[in-house]
Structure 1
Amino acid sequence: MAESTQPLSPRARLAVTAGKAAAAVSRAAGRGSGSVIGGKVALRVDPDLLGRLAGHLDVVLVSATNGKTTTTRLIAEALRAAGEVVSNALGANMPAGITSALSAGANARFGVIEVDEKYLAGVARDVSPKAIALLNLSRDQLDRAAETRMLAERWREGLQGLKTTVIANADDPLVVWAASSSGQVVWVAAGQEWKDDAWSCPSCGGVLQHHGDDWRCGACGFGRPTPTWVLSGDHVLDPNGSAWPIHLQLPGRANKANATSAAAVAAAFGVAPQVALQRMQSVAAVAGRYDVVSYEGRDIRLLLAKNPAGWLETFSLIDGPPAPVILSVNARGADGTDTSWLWDVDYTRLAGHPVVVIGDRRLDLAVRLEVAAVDFRVCDTFQEALQQLPPGRVEAIANYTAFQDLRRIVGN
């Protein structure tokens, strides 16, 4: 356990109080949870507050393009077997949101913190984490996010000299390149279905050769490290070779991969894999994702897909009988305004499904589906879309702000 720090200074206490007051005003005004504005106000009063709030905690940071919110939740549940946890469970993952979350952790032992990829190095400097989990890097928010190779380089520089254990996905070349600068790395074979951002070697620029699970650069030899934690079907293999069953309520291969990384993180904090995996079974949904809700006589499963890698994993959840599908895409500030990523998604996977398209950018998506030769209808509203679909459970797949719109409509 981290050493206990001195009680917060008067300035830090004032910062926490001011932040909570600002958050309360934001909630009262109906502008959301208030975590971001509360954190911004607190950090304005005390710029060093984040580090002060984390001083008594054993902290793990979780960063990735996809899966970080879910993995953060799974780790938090696992570590509760060993003590109280404070976490930014709703995904406010920039310094202001993280500061708000930690302000509620005065009595916690562990801090389980999701961090936006661009802020990882800075937050790590502030909170001195015991562990950092790196899951993947892929293209996202093309109008403003750094190119994935640049993010990997930023991670690599930020990890140099940092006294922490890095738990990293051995199947993502960009993550391996970033994590390799750390002195202590635990490699996890979590899988990587999306490979279109990792064909060139991050070390020398050569072409990476992929052979099954293995990958290697033919020019410089940079390649996949040997993992000590492995996802094998429905089991996690630990460093001793023992196989532990995964029984999640969360669906899909991607969540088994998230659970494998979470089990490796929990082990770094002294929680045995069988205990960690058992506790993960209690997680049925994460911030509304995967929830099945009843609305106007229909069962609707809410699925979030923000970028090509996320859409690919989500399509794997609806393989099988051709269930009706609603697709919703926006391009607001939180989504990124560039929708050219739609052309990187293999929408032919939707062939045979009754498909209806809604959202602010429904016409962009309609053009993409037409080129993919997928039958679809365009509707103006969610209610109209439901009326166009045949009976049965509906799969509703949406990017970030479109997903929040759907949650408000169905009362989730």
Structure 2
Amino acid sequence: MPLRTAFAVSVSKTAAALSRATGRGDGSVIGGRLGMMIDPDLLAHLAAGRQIALVSGTNGKTTTTRFTAAALGVLGDVATNSFGANMPTGHTSALARAGTTRYAVLEVDEHYLAQVIQATQPRVVALLNLSRDQLDRAKEVAMMADLWRQALASHPAVHIVANADDPMVVYAAGAHPVAEVTWFSAGQRWQDDSHVCPACGGHIQRGEAGGWACANGDLRRPTPQWTLLDGEVVDPEGQPHEVKLQLPGTVNLGNAATALAVAARFGVNPVDAIPRLGSVASVAGRYAQVEREGRLVRLLLAKNPASWLEAFEMADVAPTLLAINARDPDGLDTSWLYDVDFSPLRGRQVLVSGDRAMDLAVRLEINDVPFTHVKTFADAVGAVPQGRLEVIANYTAFQDIRAELDRVL
């Protein structure tokens, strides 16, 4: 390792450790930022010699990354950005902290995928989905698919594991050599961003069993090698595998199927990987269950229309706290609330909180969902009977509630 790189790694690890010790955060960003100031090519140097998988998409990448790292653990130690810092500073910090490992699994923000592929030269890239997100700063969905397509076409040797159910993902992977794409089927509950073919602008026609095709014939759903059938993951040989997860929802079975498909490219047998997936109980606090004053609190993160739809499917029919902020990490525009159908919450005790609780209150009134406004998480706990309390919150609201729970997650 060049002297400058070694010094940058030392500074990165020290800064991250100091950040954690002083309670200012996990240090993933500051450690990577300082290291890259010293050595701008630090990520490439740290990636050299490792077999790397990248995981990207609008939703599910943190959980899929955690599952994939667990699956690759069959082969040995795996470096990963488990705290969710998914930009190059976070990747740099994660690899520096891990030291020498043969394998790495990195969650990548979809806007940085091209840059991170170039720096890390991964063995596998997993493409999960593309949908609208943070309207004040995120790119339009079809534009994002185009950027992915260009980036992947420039790296034909990289193997892609891609979601056959999302037309935007299929288009992005479409310029890649057919032999270097593995298709999986994880479903697509949110379809509002893929009514139009990104290749020609024609209408996407949908059929039974998840099938879809462009009306003009320019794009159609590929045949997936990995599928979900009756709650089991079916591998390319047609062998079904029962996957028992601690994490809720059909969406996490899809995330698990993706992880198994990625791990298989490294030679991991699904039979060996599946028990490791079942050991994952929480991902950066998401899905964690904590007892507080006789209430069993479960935290679900939801950041955009697609993830809110999935959160409603995961949550039990129980008192539910919805918390919305609009700070920089969340995106400042809350108009996306009008893309979410909140009617599944009818019949539950619903509470609203957060900096933009009134925006959420107006949206709930439109959907005829009665609610109560509470100022704090503690007020919410006191307002519901003993038993289950579901909490669905976006980024900073989620972290605020974690802080009130004394970060026991």
TM-score (norm 1): 0.96
Alpha-carbon distance in structure 2 between the residues aligned to 1:17 and 1:82: 27
Counting only pairs closer than 5 Å after superposition, residues 368-383 of structure 1 correspond to structure 2 as 368-383=363-378
Deviates more, 1:197-206 or 1:104-113: 104-113
One-letter code aligned to 1:164: V
1:228 to 222, 225, 228: 225
Cα deviation, 1:95-145, whole Å, max 9, x if unaligned, reads: 001100011233211010000000001000000000000000111111001
For 2:294 and 2:381, how far apart are their aligned partners in 1?
A: 10
Q: Which amino acid aligns with 1:174?
A: M
* Partners of 1:15 and 1:109 in 2: CA distance: 21
1:139-161 deviations in whole A, cap 9, x for unaligned? 11110011111111100000013
| Percent identity of paired positions between Structure 1 and Structure 2 | 53
* Deviation readout 1:260-304 (Å, 9 max, x if unpaired): 010100100000111111211110111111111011221101111
Give yes or no for the alignment of 1:407 onto 2:399: no
Shift of 1:391: 3.1
- On the 8 A contact 1:35/1:92 being kept in 2, the answer is yes
In 2, Cα distance between equivalents of 1:97 and 1:168: 24
Give the deviation of 1:399 after TM superposition: 0.5
Contact 1:86 1:112 (C-alpha < 8 Å) held by counterparts: yes
Match of 2:326 in 1: 331
Residue 181 of structure 1: aligned partner:
175
Tell me how far apart the structure 1 counterparts of residues 21 and 285 of structure 2 sit (CA, whole Å). 22
Residues 199 and 218, structure 2, Cα contact 8 Å, conserved in 1: no
How far apart in 2 are the matches of 1:62 and 1:386? 36
Match for 1:16 among 9, 34, 37?
9
Question: How do 1:255-334 residues align onto structure 2 when only pairs under 5 Å count?
Answer: 255-318=252-315, 322-334=317-329
Per the alignment, residue 69 of structure 1 pairs with 62
1:97 maps to which residue? 90
Residue 384 of structure 1 aligns to which amino acid in structure 2?
D
2:100 aligned partner: 107
Q: What is aligned with 1:168?
A: 162
Cα distance between partner residues in 1 of 2:11 and 2:81: 19
Of the three residues 237, 253, 273, the one matched with 1:240 is: 237
Distance in 2, matches of 1:28 and 1:271, equals 37
AA partner of residue 335 (structure 2): S
Q: Distance in 1 between matches of 2:120 and 2:170?
A: 23
CA contact (8 A) 2:145 2:168 kept: yes
1:83 alignment partner in structure 2: 76
Alpha-carbon distance in 2 for matches of 1:302, 1:29 = 25
Matched, 1:194 2:190: yes
1:254 Cα deviation after fit? 0.3
How big is the shift at 1:56? 1.4
- Aligned mate of 1:384, from 362, 379, 385: 379
Shift of residue 29 of structure 1? 4.1
Match of 1:349 in 2: 344
- Residue 197 of structure 1 deviates from its aligned partner by 0.5
Match of 2:47 among 31, 54, 60: 54
Q: Find the residue that maps to 1:53 and give its secondary structure.
A: helix
Equivalent residues, number:
403
1-structure distance, mates of 2:42, 2:61 = 24
Q: 345, 362, 368: which one pairs with 1:367?
A: 362
Tell me, what secondary structure is at the counterpart of 2:105? strand
Q: Helix, strand or coil for the counterpart of 2:344?
A: helix
Q: Which runs of 5+ in 1 are unaligned?
A: 1-7
**2:36 is aligned with 1:40:** no
SS in 1 for 2:308: helix
Distance in 2 between residues matched to 1:193 and 1:28, nearest whole Å = 41
Check the 8 A contact 1:136/1:172 in 2, yes or no. Answer: yes
Please give the secondary structure, in 2, of the residue aligned with 1:104: helix
- The one-character-per-residue Cα deviations of 1:58-86 (angstroms, maximum 9, x if unpaired) are 00000011100000000001101011100
Deviation beyond 6 Å, 4+ runs, structure 1:
none
The SS at the match of 2:161 is: strand
Deviations 1:147-181 (A, max 9, x none): 11111110000001311110000000001100112
> What SS class does the counterpart of residue 300 from structure 1 fall into?
strand
CA distance in 1, matches of 2:290, 2:386: 15
Superposed CA RMSD: 1.1
Q: Partners in 2 of 1:276 and 1:24 — Cα distance?
A: 31
- Rounded to whole Å, the distance in 1 between the matches of 2:11 and 2:398 is 31
2:128 is the alignment partner of 1:128: no
Residue type of the alignment partner of 1:201? C
Hey, what does 2:203 align to over in structure 1? 207
Contact preservation (8 Å) 1:204, 1:220: no
- Verify the 8 A CA contact 1:79 1:85 in the aligned structure 2: yes
Q: Report how far residue 12 of structure 1 moved.
A: 0.3
Worse-superposed segment, 180-189 or 102-111? 102-111
Match of residue 137, structure 1, among 130, 133, 136: 130
Q: Does 1:396 align with 2:391?
A: yes
Distance of 2:153 and 2:99 partners within structure 1: 30
> Tell me, which stretches of 5 or more residues in structure 2 are unaligned?
none
Contact 1:15 1:46 (8 Å CA) reproduced: yes
Residues 212-234 of structure 1 show CA distances to partners (whole Å, capped at 9, x for unaligned) of 21111112331101111111122
- Structure 2 CA distance, aligned partners of 1:209 and 1:305? 28
Q: Secondary structure at the match of 2:330?
A: coil
1:170 alignment partner AA: A
Distance 1:25 1:88 in 2: 18
What CA distance in whole angstroms lies between the structure 2 residues aligned with 1:138 and 1:326? 25
Cross-structure match for 1:30: 23
Matched residue of 1:393: which SS?
strand
